[in-house]
Amino acid sequence: MPSPSDLVAQDFETLYHNHLLPYGDAEVSEEFLKQITELMSAHIIKSNNRDEKVLNFVYPEKLEKFFKDYKITEKPLSLQKIIDDCKMIMELSVKTAHPRCFNQLFSGLDWVSLAGECITAACNTSMYTYEMAPAFNCLEKLTIDKMASLCGWTEPCDGLFNPGGSISNLYSVQAAMNYYFPNVKQEGCYGMPKMIAFTSKHCHYSMQRAVVILGLGTNSLRQVPVDERGRMIPEELEKLVLACKEKNEVPFFVNCTSGTTVVGAYDPIEEVNKICKKYNMWLHIDAAWGGGALLSKKHKHLLKGIEEADSVTWNPHKMMGVINQCSAFLCKKKDILAKCNKMNASYLFQQDKLYDVSYDSGDKTLQCGRHVDVLKCWLMWRSKGDIGFENHINHLFSLADLLYKEVKARDNFEAVFDNPQCTNVCFWYIPKSLQHLDRTSTEFKEKIHKIAPKIKAEMMLKGSMMMSYQPLDTKPNFFRMVFNNYGTRNEDVLFLLDEIERLGKDL
Amino acid sequence: MPSPSDLVAQDFETLYHNHLLPYGDAEVSEEFLKQITELMSAHIIKSNNRDEKVLNFVYPEKLEKFFKDYKITEKPLSLQKIIDDCKMIMELSVKTAHPRCFNQLFSGLDWVSLAGECITAACNTSMYTYEMAPAFNCLEKLTIDKMASLCGWTEPCDGLFNPGGSISNLYSVQAAMNYYFPNVKQEGCYGMPKMIAFTSKHCHYSMQRAVVILGLGTNSLRQVPVDERGRMIPEELEKLVLACKEKNEVPFFVNCTSGTTVVGAYDPIEEVNKICKKYNMWLHIDAAWGGGALLSKKHKHLLKGIEEADSVTWNPHKMMGVINQCSAFLCKKKDILAKCNKMNASYLFQQDKLYDVSYDSGDKTLQCGRHVDVLKCWLMWRSKGDIGFENHINHLFSLADLLYKEVKARDNFEAVFDNPQCTNVCFWYIPKSLQHLDRTSTEFKEKIHKIAPKIKAEMMLKGSMMMSYQPLDTKPNFFRMVFNNYGTRNEDVLFLLDEIERLGKDL
């Protein structure tokens, strides 16, 4: 075993897994982790460099072939080989921290949040019981309460951090089912009245998935029409509710989206809430994407009425930039999650422990072991403060404002929706060859539909940026730009339009 | 901004979030992460020291009060404060890497797996599409195929890494429902025949939770009696199946547990499989805990018949010691997960991408965004090799063997089950004051029931070790020892019995 002083020059080629703790040496272990940290830092620093490519695209068939040389072998591989593996993996990965990685509702890389995720890994525990995760259970409660207070909730609530917003949305439907029909836990949906949930046509697809998973089936979800800006139309909701009642179906749940995935619409919570109260339905707010606006005095009006909701999904890993995954589910009714999921496993949730077992959070979840997702959020929030997050959110909205104005100002771009509410800006790029066509003609629609995928393919092969496109309702493929990376600046907004023009000029 | 050479002596008291990238300085960012890494290493090295306490227990009410001084504030906090927060959190956390942390089905800390989790965090992406996670999707396929081949599956299969074994088990029931009743996706359980699932009385509680979540209800799960060693009795299963058929219920699913949570029993897969084939039922193997035995030539016979299963849950974060969470779900039918969950979200799973979109894994999951859980598993496996894992598993089984022999040899201990199959060893400690009592008397049962909780409370307050206890069926509280930490050695086995004697001698 080398002495610590040799380690800087240590050749990991001759060191193996068993040279690490618990059988090996503390110094070797420490030095190994240092080398990994250096790789991490180098990757993130590189990702922050605008001259670097966002990705090095490789076709899947080719990559699969490449990985044939990276099989798990019978014999151990040296630690140097492991370090090389890490380097290789990072080179093949999308630089999600790049200020021009606009593809998803998450991006950027916050160093403090990263620190939280690394410390979480070193603590390697599970949330299910207080005894295994005392500090993390306390922090979860603190952070959930903080988020609830930003929703204007005045009483302490229940809540959990979950592996993604889809799971949080699933909880909301499950909670509502069990609230109105407590027998469902025992009897399932058999013999139950036909429970009907409502959501806007533009909601996240996880609402549909939730009713499928929960045994209600897609037939139990009604899609409410939206207005020209993509917001649920309350009158249409009421019509659908009344139509259900006529068929002896039982309306029990409404989801209001705060920040729809594609156009970033905020459904009118206050008006929808009135209908929920009138017909005794659960009001859920899916603010997975748009919840970040609550951190800004300027933009929080978009979620006016959220104080009346029964439950909320809000993903700090989206607009707030916390490391993936971090999704909070807030629930006003304090005992309903336990009623849904409590199984009283006697090996885990013993009632004769030395402490108050109401602090054991595990028996109300869909999971058993649950990853600690709170530290990376709490730590980042501590570090930025409320003010830091307010600036962060305002910055993202101002980028969207700039992009929208540029789209309106440039002749070869057209906005899909006027005056976007969130940081989503949807637009078409219209190449010269299509400019003369009637916008309502089939020819135009067919041709423009192919433009965005072509430009997207080009930008991926070039690696200059990444952004998303999709069709919507009867609208042909358009670009959806979303701002969620605090590192993105005005120059990147101009770059993205210029780059689309460059890539698309000959189409 | 300080120059890089100042940084070693850098005072983080005067540096804030905005001194980090993307707006601050690369060197400050790097140095900050280095300091975090040092904390991580120090924590793990300390956890490997047997003279250190496993935990510093604080009662929840007191800890909650303590955290009142750690609120998220309006103004940002210095990076030094963040580093101090991390230190504080680690001091309050259970040292799960400690060789005497025996509380759960996971423990230990593998440095290579930790490296994988840290690199994963630095790459900060989501599994849903190939374009966002090309290397990770390839690695997931590789690793799932490797695990399937250890199950003796000869064809490439489908599979996913999920946030815990409960979710993997949920997939198995969902897949079976949709396989036999494809209309369930649209219609839910309404109007469906009464679908009945079977599992042993000693199965993990997630099976019960799965039928609850999926809208079948607890009434749809039948618990099959177990033999004296906790194994499902196939004849009893067949009786229950026939009883269902008489009532016009439809038996569709059987779960065989490979390594039950408490006693570590392996259900007899081959015999259960015959019944599944005879009555056309899905065979799922919950090997979340005991799947690790497949890595050992000596112990893999315990799962004989797994090659016939339709699906398997196997958690590398348990016996294999991968960082939490890492749970694999393997499914032999290649298209069924997509049939269950596909929603065709047009903003994410565009069909007109530049690459073969069958590589996008997201549309078959219960989630949308999905954490990358494969790297920490693949990397660790590369580093240890198959041989390393075989030694690891054999070592854990040999520790259990030693403990069992010691329990049998010592007068004040009694084994709950003879000849444990897995690394679970269940036993009572019988203090002198109870030795004279008739073991079948109510007095003995009532008194012994209180012994384990008392000793557990003492060991937590002292911090010398952590292990679990519980009642089972009519048996009063006993200790359940499980070996899953590769760092645990023979001396720790003797320590644990000696320590129980020390803590319990005056009871």
Q: What is the DSSP string of B350-410?
A: -TT-SS-GGG--GGGSS-SS----SHHHHHHHHHHHHHHHHHHHHHHHHHHHHHHHHHHHS
Query: Beta-carbon neighbour count of residue A6 at 10 Å?
Result: 12
- Please name the residues between 117 and 146 in chain B that touch chain A, using a CB distance below 8 Å: 117-119, 121-126, 130-139, 141-143, 146
Tokens of A144: 């959930």
pLDDT digits (tens, 9 = 90+) for B94-135: 999 999 999 999 999 999 999 999 999 999 999 999 999 999
Domains of chain B are 4-95 (3.90.1150.170)
User: % helix / strand / coil in chain B, to the nearest 5?
Assistant: 50, 15, 40
- Per CB-CB distance under 8 Å, the chain A contacts of B22 are 48, 97, 99, 108, 486-487
Chain B contact for A41, CB < 8 A?
yes
| The pLDDT of residue B346 | 86
Give B247-251's long-range contacts (Cβ < 8 A, gap of 24+). B247/B194, B248/B193, B248/B194, B249/B193, B249/B194, B249/B195, B249/B196, B250/B180, B250/B193, B250/B194, B250/B195, B250/B196, B251/B196, B251/B198, B251/B279, B251/B281
Nearest residue to A268 (alpha-carbon basis) of A228, A310, A305: A305
- What φ, ψ does residue B223 adopt, rounded to 5°? -95, 120
Task: Report the side by side order of strands in the sheet with A282-286.
Answer: A158-162, A327-331, A311-314, A282-286, A250-257, A195-200, A221-224
How far apart are the C-alpha atoms of A424 and A421, rounded to whole Å?
A: 8
Phi-psi region of A221 (alpha: psi -120 to 50; beta: other; left: phi over 0): beta
- Cross-chain Cβ contact A188/B353 below 8 Å: no
pLDDT digits (tens, 9 = 90+) for B50-98: 999 999 999 999 999 999 999 999 999 999 999 999 999 999 999 999 9
- Per CB-CB distance under 8 Å, the chain B contacts of A194 are 190
Distant-in-sequence, close-in-space partners of B278: CB < 8 Å, separation ≥ 6: none
Q: Return the residue in A347, A374, A467 with the most chain B beta carbons within 10 A, the one to mutate for interface testing.
A: A347
Chain B contact for A64, CB < 8 A?
yes
pLDDT digits (tens, 9 = 90+) for A415-444: 999 999 999 999 999 999 999 999 999 999
A/B interface, count of CB pairs below 8 Å:
534
Q: Return the residue in A368, A376, A384, A473 with the most chain B beta carbons within 10 A, the one to mutate for interface testing.
A: A368
Give the mean pLDDT of chain B: 96
Chain B contact for A199, CB < 8 A?
no
- Cross-chain Cβ contact B368/A206 below 8 Å: yes
pLDDT digits (tens, 9 = 90+) for B153-164: 999 999 999 999
Q: Return the residue in B169, B383, B384 with the most chain A beta carbons within 10 A, the one to mutate for interface testing.
A: B383
Shortest CA gap B307–chain A (Å):
21
| Complex-level ipTM | 0.97
- Cross-chain Cβ contact B346/A472 below 8 Å: yes
Chain A contact for B381, CB < 8 A?
yes
- Please name the residues between 291 and 350 in chain A that touch chain B, using a CB distance below 8 Å: 317, 323-325, 340-341, 343, 345-348, 350
How far apart are the C-alpha atoms of A488 and A331, rounded to whole Å?
A: 33
Query: Beta-carbon neighbour count of residue A278 at 10 Å?
Result: 10
- Cross-chain Cβ contact B90/A385 below 8 Å: no
Placement of tokens 């059988």 in the chain: A23
How far apart are the C-alpha atoms of A481 and A103, rounded to whole Å?
A: 8
| The pLDDT of residue A6 | 47
| The pLDDT of residue A2 | 42
Chain B contact for A221, CB < 8 A?
no
| The pLDDT of residue B2 | 42
- Per CB-CB distance under 8 Å, the chain B contacts of A48 are 21-22, 26
DSSP string, A68-81: GGGPPPSS---HHH
Residue B40: which of A59, A119, A133 has the nearest Cβ? Answer: A119
How far apart are the C-alpha atoms of B129 and A470, rounded to whole Å?
A: 15
| The pLDDT of residue A5 | 46
Decide the pairing of beta strands A466-472 and A475-482: antiparallel
- Cross-chain Cβ contact A58/B17 below 8 Å: no
DSSP E strands in A395-487: the ranges are: 413-415, 424-429, 466-472, 475-482
Nearest residue to B259 (alpha-carbon basis) of B315, B213, B219, B209: B315
| The pLDDT of residue A346 | 86
Nearest residue to B176 (alpha-carbon basis) of B204, B205, B145, B197: B197
Residue of B nearest to A147 (CA): B72
Task: Evaluate whether B125 touches B343 at the Cβ level (below 8 Å).
Answer: no
Nearest residue to B473 (alpha-carbon basis) of B426, B408, B423: B426
The per-residue pLDDT string of chain A (507 residues; one tens digit each, 9 = 90 and over) reads 444 444 455 789 999 999 999 999 999 999 999 999 999 999 999 999 999 999 999 999 999 999 999 999 999 999 999 999 999 999 999 999 999 999 999 999 999 999 999 999 999 999 999 999 999 999 999 999 999 999 999 999 999 999 999 999 999 999 999 999 999 999 999 989 999 999 999 999 999 999 999 999 999 999 999 999 999 999 999 999 999 999 999 999 999 999 999 999 999 999 999 999 999 999 999 999 999 999 999 999 999 999 999 999 999 999 999 999 999 999 999 999 999 999 988 888 899 999 999 999 999 999 999 999 999 999 999 999 999 999 999 999 999 999 999 999 999 999 999 999 999 999 999 999 999 999 999 999 999 999 999 999 999 999 999 999 999 999 999 999 999 999 999 999 999 999 999 999 999
Residue A130: which of B38, B60, B146 has the nearest Cβ? Answer: B60
Tokens of A412: 């070869």
- Please name the residues between 77 and 116 in chain B that touch chain A, using a CB distance below 8 Å: 77, 79, 81-82, 85-86, 88-90, 92-94, 96-97, 99, 103-104, 106, 108-109, 111-112, 114-116
pLDDT at B310 over 60: yes
| The pLDDT of residue A117 | 98
- Cross-chain Cβ contact B119/A86 below 8 Å: yes
How far apart are the C-alpha atoms of A364 and A341, rounded to whole Å?
A: 5
Sign of dihedral through CA atoms B74, B78, B81, B86?
A: positive
- Cross-chain Cβ contact B369/A103 below 8 Å: no
How far apart are the C-alpha atoms of A98 and A214, rounded to whole Å?
A: 38
Q: What is the DSSP letter of B322?
A: P
Residue of B nearest to A177 (CA): B215
Query: Beta-carbon neighbour count of residue A405 at 10 Å?
Result: 12
Task: Evaluate whether A254 touches A198 at the Cβ level (below 8 Å).
Answer: yes
How far apart are the C-alpha atoms of B293 and B300, rounded to whole Å?
A: 5
Tokens of A123: 């603590």
In the three-class reduction of DSSP (H, G, I as helix; E, B as strand; rest coil), residue B284 is classed as: strand
| Percentage with pLDDT > 90 across chain B | 96
Chain A contact for B75, CB < 8 A?
yes
Q: Is A500 exposed, middle or buried (0-12, 13-18, 19+ CB in 10 A)?
A: buried
User: % helix / strand / coil in chain A, to the nearest 5?
Assistant: 50, 15, 40
| The pLDDT of residue B80 | 98
Residue A164: which of B114, B213, B369 has the nearest Cβ? Answer: B369
- Cross-chain Cβ contact B125/A324 below 8 Å: yes
Using alpha carbons, list the distances in angstroms from residue B290 to A120, B253, B312, B314, B426: 26, 20, 11, 8, 16
Distant-in-sequence, close-in-space partners of A61: CB < 8 Å, separation ≥ 6: B356
Largest pairwise CA distance in chain B: 81
Q: What is the DSSP letter of B470?
A: E
Task: Evaluate whether B114 touches B122 at the Cβ level (below 8 Å).
Answer: no
Chain A contact for B357, CB < 8 A?
no
Residue B187: which of A36, A72, A219 has the nearest Cβ? Answer: A219
| The pLDDT of residue A347 | 86
pLDDT at B9 over 80: no
How far apart are the C-alpha atoms of B485 and B384, rounded to whole Å?
A: 15
- Cross-chain Cβ contact A94/B125 below 8 Å: yes
Residue of B nearest to A209 (CA): B341
